[in-house]
Amino acid sequence: MRKHWIDNLRWVTVVLVLIYHVFYFYNNKGVAGGIGGWDGPQYQDAVLYILYPWFMMLLFLVAGISARYALQKQTDREFRRSRTLKLLVPSTIGLFVFQWITGYYNTLTAEVVNQTPIFSTVPEPVRGIVTYLISCVSGQGPLWFAQELWIFSLLLILLRRIDKNDTLWTKCKGAGNIWILLVGILVWLGAQTLIQEPNTESIEPIINIYRPFSYIIPFLLGYYLFSHDEIIERVVSMRKPIWAVATISGVVLVATTFGENYTDPAYLGSVLTNLYAYSAILGLLALFKVKFDYTGRFAEYMTRSSFGWYVTHYVLIAAVGFNLKMNTSLSPVAIYSLLMVTVMIGTPLLYELLRRIPFVRWCVYGIKK
């Protein structure tokens, strides 16, 4: 029986990713990747502090739960092939077919932020080809999630082969309330693997961007622990104190750290950040299990389409967001509003267009038909 609350939690989190990126693109808190904002505190950036500590970890945790359910119906080989099609194809081949547009505007944004010309330094006879190739390499954007999830899926198959009798998953079923809360320490430990002062000439900055240990932990927790109905019921039984902890820790975190770079390793490794992140994740699992375990036409559509929205949306943010800031004199309120409307309306329209084009839908979304 399909668990609608998990589907709903997944697509709602994807919508939050879209909202996050609108505010992220214009942040003035020193977080790399956007084009920057305006003078002043920009209190709207509080959205970033509220969402960033937990929303991608939640997506990985839900992916772990979903992997467990999928592997109850698929062989390891079928699972690997399906994940390769859905995750690896869009995040590799899709860069050359569609995401190069994101890369092109990412490079323009980097030129503005760093005041360092890139395309103009390329000789004219080969500028078009080099520009395209640079754009493809720079076009990954949010697809790092798909790449990392694909690697985690392969590692999961390896773990399943080591634990052929499913011993670990079976033992996790008996975890009591205290153990469910204590595994949050693993989330904190994952954050301790981030490198405080990364060497920019090494792979260390990439490790901090991908945060592999911060994300594989919730993925494996989803697979081994939270895929048990009994565990979810225990989380539900603790929902009121969990919601209280999540609310209080979140308010304290935002109030005491607003203005800091919320992607800094020290910020992400703090006890308060991880307390908020884990309690928010548990709280949302309980909330959706209790309140949103149903479906309808809209929810079914979002369940089918949310990954496509995730793949598509950042092209609009990069292109429209860049031009609104650089080529108009609109007020910040108007810019935020126009970009939000563009993303929320344009993303599904662009997705529906691209998924109807043969071959393109395979490259961009991993859809065969």
pLDDT of residue 192: 97
Q: Is the pLDDT of residue 127 over 90?
A: no
Q: Is the pLDDT of residue 209 over 90?
A: no
CA distance 330 to 311: 28
The mean pLDDT value for 57-81 works out to 97
The residue with greater pLDDT, 285 or 202, is 285
Q: Sorting pLDDT into bands at 50, 70 and 90, what band is 199?
A: confident
pLDDT of residue 340: 98
CA distances to 117, 132, 346 from 126, rounded to whole Å, are 16, 10, 33
CA distance 88 to 92: 6
| pLDDT (tens digit per residue) in 231-243 | 999 999 999 999 9
pLDDT of residue 36: 95
Q: Is the pLDDT of residue 369 over 80?
A: no
The mean pLDDT value for 134-158 works out to 96
pLDDT of residue 298: 98
CA distances to 33, 110, 124, 125 from 121, rounded to whole Å, are 22, 14, 9, 12
pLDDT of residue 333: 97
CA distance 143 to 149: 10
CA distance 178 to 294: 29
Q: Is the pLDDT of residue 193 over 80?
A: yes
258: phi then psi, degrees, rounded to nearest 5: -60, 130
| pLDDT (tens digit per residue) in 167-189 | 999 999 999 999 999 999 999 99
pLDDT of residue 118: 81
238 half-sphere exposure, CB direction, 13 A CA radius = 21
The mean pLDDT value for 255-264 works out to 97
The mean pLDDT value for 86-92 works out to 97
pLDDT of residue 351: 98
Q: Sorting pLDDT into bands at 50, 70 and 90, what band is 124?
A: confident
Q: Which amino acid would we find at residue 95?
A: L
Query: How much is the CA Rg of the chain, to the nearest whole Å?
Result: 21
| pLDDT (tens digit per residue) in 308-360 | 999 999 999 999 999 999 999 999 999 999 999 999 999 999 999 999 999 99
pTM of the model: 0.97
Query: Measuring CA to CA, which residue among 13, 31, 34 is closest to residue 318?
Result: 34
pLDDT of residue 114: 84
Burial (0-12, 13-18, 19+ Cβ within 10 Å), 112: middle
CA distance 285 to 264: 27
| pLDDT (tens digit per residue) in 275-285 | 999 999 999 99
CA distance 181 to 261: 28
CA triple 80-84-88, angle to 5 deg: 150
Neighbours of 175 (CB within 10 A): 19
| pLDDT (tens digit per residue) in 16-35 | 999 999 999 999 999 989 99
Q: What is the 3-state secondary structure (H, E, C) of the chain?
A: CCCHHHHHHHHHHHHHHHHHHHHHHCCCCCCCCCCCCCCCCCHHHHHHHHHCCCHHHHHHHHHHHHHHHHHCCCCHHHHHHHHHHHHHHHHHHHHHHHHHHHHHHHHHHHHHHHCCCCHHHCCHHHHHHHHHHHHHHCCCHHHHHHHHHHHHHHHHHHHHHHCCCCHHHHHHCCCCHHHHHHCHHHHHHHHCCCCCCCCCCCCHHHHHHHCHHHHHHHHHHHHHCCCCHHHHHHHHHCHHHHHHHHHHHHHHHHHHHCCCCCCCHHHHCCHHHHHHHHHHHHHHHHHHHHHCCCCCHHHHHHHHHHHHHHHHHHHHHHHHHHHHHHCCCCCHHHHHHHHHHHHHHHHHHHHHHHCCCCCHHHHHHCCCC
pLDDT of residue 115: 82
pLDDT of residue 28: 96
Q: Is the pLDDT of residue 201 over 90?
A: no
Mean pLDDT rounded to a whole number for the chain: 96
